[in-house]
Amino acid sequence: MAETSLPHQIAFCELEHGKRPQCGPKKRWIDAVKNDLTSLKIDLNTWRDAASDRASWREKIHETTKRRHEDIQQQQIEKRAKRYEIEQDFTWTCPICRFERSGPRGRQYVQSHITQAHKEALPPSTEKSLKCMKCDFEANTGSGLSSHMRWKHPDFVSATAGLKPVRSIRPCRSPTPGTSGSSSQPPQSPNPLQCVCGRSFKTKAGLGSHKRGQQCTIMSRN
């Protein structure tokens, strides 16, 4: 394709004014409908015939939409539970007085400690821009910019960023010598969300409820 052709210019050239959407090109109405039907697991070849019966079509749409919403909620719950479990091993430390807190909220505790106990060490507050200093991203709020810098540019240190908590990962606890063969605890499964009886769970809460109940015969005997 020649560089002077219109399709090549549309596909590869930069816009003189404005910017391209980050979520993909705009779609036709029929394409958006097909994407929605695919996400709801509705056959694209027979949906017009199924939609002719309005009562059954409305009922099917309501059921599939509700099921899709529940699936998304379950995925978000599992994602938050996994992130919470990873952050359990994080330890956040003050860079001045070695004040530290652990767990998912450790960073907030240490950051609050820095702003209250070490006010004289903080740089003077100035009106700062909401545009990223490493890329073209522009946030709507200061917290949005901080989150972007923390996840996209974790190694970047700004001269006006001030003091930040220092993160470290706690080492795994080693077993006490002489107690490896005399433990009365049941054997542990390599999967953190799988019981020793062989049953797997999607969340840590479900695994704990299973162990506390009478469904697990191995845990109930110990």
132-178 confidence digits (pLDDT tens)? 888 888 888 888 888 888 888 877 766 555 666 777 776 654 444 54
82 belongs to a structural domain: yes
Cα–Cα distance, 102 to 169 (Å, whole number):
9
Residues 77 and 67 reside in one and the same domain: yes
Which among 146, 169, 192 is the end of a domain? 169
Output the six-digit token pair for 27. Answer: 């779609």
Residues 74 and 95 reside in one and the same domain: no
31 belongs to a structural domain: yes
175 belongs to a structural domain: no
77 belongs to a structural domain: yes
Q: Helix, strand, coil: what percent of the chain each, to 5?
A: 45, 5, 50
Residues 94 and 78 reside in one and the same domain: no
97 neighbors 117 (Cβ within 8 angstroms): yes
pTM of the model: 0.42
pLDDT of residue 180: 43
Backbone phi, then psi, for 18, in 5-degree steps?
85, -165
The residue ranges of the chain whose pLDDT is under 50 are 126, 173-176, 178-189, 220
pLDDT of residue 159: 52
Residues 78 and 57 reside in one and the same domain: yes
Residues 72 and 31 reside in one and the same domain: yes
pLDDT of residue 175: 46
Which among 169, 188, 205 is the end of a domain? 169
- Closest by CA to 108, choosing from 169, 172, 148, 167, is 167
Which among 37, 69, 86 is the end of a domain? 86
pLDDT of residue 70: 92
139 belongs to a structural domain: no
pLDDT of residue 186: 45
Residues 113 and 94 reside in one and the same domain: yes
Residues 99 and 79 reside in one and the same domain: no
183 neighbors 191 (Cβ within 8 angstroms): no
DSSP label of 186 = P
36 belongs to a structural domain: yes
pLDDT of residue 188: 47
pLDDT of residue 132: 86
pLDDT of residue 128: 64
pLDDT of residue 59: 93
214 belongs to a structural domain: no
Cα–Cα distance, 129 to 140 (Å, whole number):
10
pLDDT of residue 31: 87
Output the six-digit token pair for 104. Answer: 């998912």
pLDDT of residue 142: 82
pLDDT of residue 157: 63
pLDDT of residue 32: 87
- The total domain count for the chain is 2
Domain with 103, as residue range(s), is 88-120+163-169
Residues 40 and 78 reside in one and the same domain: yes
**Bridge partners of 77?**
none
127 belongs to a structural domain: no
Residues 95 and 116 reside in one and the same domain: yes
